[in-house]
């Protein structure tokens, strides 16, 4: 099979219509150039040029091969260029999985920063629970996970990215909506919408443990797995809820958000997790971009 170097020689001769001029163009002497053309014709089993003492003219087969040879050489250059860009992490695809609450503030910043700094990297997004994300990472189905629980397992990297306080979501007509100062004790006997254990285990356990330690007993009227749904229920007057501060960006006409005094350590946390053996160059580039984007947010570590 012919080589790319032979194609370059052929295209130079075909373009210049002269072996001597083609040799100058390729910065080589004429004998090795003629030898490369002869080898190419031998390998193809056809004559590419009609040669006379005064001219070099493409044969009919040579004219057809000229078009294909140009395309092959361009594709080879493109392949090399693409391979270098992929190796540098300048192009490629990164799959980021995330918990739903990350879309309120954190994830939009990540996407904006990623597109700004690396516009040729395709970011594929997958909304999953924390448990689903960890399984997807193990199966190499995602590159980066944004989860609620830390992962301390060999072969995985993990770091806390966002720490934010909880705020109290209150129906507009509720007495706490206008109370000057709200404490945890104010939630005793109140109808309360808590995160579901099945889908939001970190938040459920955090809040349930906090209430037990403080000996505060809200009336749990619903166990829900979505912050958006929780706020929609608060908006109907069904009960109160504690939600991450970033959720205040979700607006409902009949919902008010109030600061509340909570015990130290009761925070909404987001963790970044990944496989340490991930060899996708674009993954490392996007990991850096995510860290950079987080520094623009309040309440980051």
Handedness of CA 30, 32, 38, 44 (dihedral sign): negative
> What integer pLDDT is reported at residue 86 of this predicted model?
66
Q: Which runs of E-coded beta strand occur in the chain?
A: 49-51, 56-58, 92-98, 121-127, 144-147, 156-164, 166-171, 191-195, 219-224, 241-244, 255-258, 268-275
Retrieve residue 64's tokens: 């057809």
Q: Which residues pair with 56 in a beta bridge?
A: 51
> What integer pLDDT is reported at residue 267 of this predicted model?
93
Domain 4-88: state its class: mainly alpha
Give whole-number Cα distances, 76 to 1, 3, 26, 64, 114, in Å. Answer: 15, 11, 18, 19, 29
How far apart CA 279 and CA 271 sit, in angstroms, is 21
Mean pLDDT of the chain: 87
Which residues have a Cβ under 8 Å from the Cβ of 219 and sit 6 or more positions away? 189, 190, 191, 192, 239
> What integer pLDDT is reported at residue 89 of this predicted model?
60
Domain 92-163+269-294, CATH: 3.40.190.10
Answer yes or no: are the C-beta atoms of 64 and 57 closer than 8 Å: no
CA count, 13 A, side-chain hemisphere, 55: 4
How far apart CA 224 and CA 246 sit, in angstroms, is 18
Tens-digit pLDDT profile for residues 273-285: 999 999 888 888 8
> What integer pLDDT is reported at residue 151 of this predicted model?
84
Sort residue 215 into left (φ over 0), alpha (ψ -120 to 50) or beta.
left
All structural domains of the chain with their residue ranges: 4-88, 92-163+269-294, 166-266
* For helices 19-26 and 4-16, angle between their N-to-C axes, nearest 10 degrees: 130
What radius of gyration, in Å, describes the C-alpha atoms of the chain?
32
How far apart CA 112 and CA 116 sit, in angstroms, is 6
Q: What share of the chain is helix, strand, coil (3-state, %, to 5)?
A: 45, 25, 30
How far apart CA 156 and CA 138 sit, in angstroms, is 9
User: Domain 166-266 maps to which CATH number in 3.20.20.450, 1.10.1200.10, 3.40.50.2300, 3.40.190.10?
Assistant: 3.40.190.10
Tens-digit pLDDT profile for residues 32-43: 988 988 998 898
Stretches in the chain below the pLDDT threshold 70: 82, 85-91, 294-301
Whether the domain at 4-88 and the domain at 92-163+269-294 fall into the same CATH topology: no
> What integer pLDDT is reported at residue 202 of this predicted model?
82
């Amino acid at each position: 099979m012919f080589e790319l170097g032979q194609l370059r020689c052929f295209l130079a001769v075909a373009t210049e219509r002269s072996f001597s001029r083609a040799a100058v163009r390729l910065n080589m002497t004429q004998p090795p150039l003629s030898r490369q053309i002869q080898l190419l014709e031998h390998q193809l089993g056809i004559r590419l040029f009609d040669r006379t003492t005064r001219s070099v003219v493409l044969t009919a087969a040579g004219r057809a091969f000229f078009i294909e040879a140009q395309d092959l050489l361009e594709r080879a250059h493109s392949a090399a260029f693409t391979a270098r860009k992929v190796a540098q992490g300048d192009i490629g695809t990164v799959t980021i999985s995330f918990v739903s609450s990350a879309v309120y503030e954190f994830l939009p910043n990540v996407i904006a920063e990623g597109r700004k700094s690396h516009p040729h990297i395709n970011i594929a997004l997958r909304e999953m629970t924390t448990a689903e994300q960890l399984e997807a990472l193990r199966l190499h189905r995602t590159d980066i996970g944004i989860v609620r629980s830390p992962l301390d397992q060999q072969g995985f990297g993990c770091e806390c990215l966002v720490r934010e306080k909880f705020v109290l979501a209150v129906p507009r007509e509720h007495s706490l909506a206008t109370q000057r100062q709200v404490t945890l004790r104010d939630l005793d006997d109140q109808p309360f919408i808590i995160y579901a254990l099945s889908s939001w285990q970190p938040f459920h356990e955090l809040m349930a443990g906090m209430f037990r330690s403080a000996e505060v007993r809200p009336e749990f009227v619903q166990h829900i797995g979505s912050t958006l749904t929780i706020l929609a229920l608060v908006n109907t007057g069904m009960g109160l809820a504690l939600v991450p501060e970033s959720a205040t960006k979700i607006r409902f006409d009949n919902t008010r958000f109030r600061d509340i005094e909570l015990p130290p350590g009761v925070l909404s946390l987001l963790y970044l997790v990944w496989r340490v053996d991930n060899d996708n160059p674009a993954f490392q580039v996007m990991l850096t971009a995510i860290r950079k984007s987080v520094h623009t947010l309040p309440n980051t570590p």
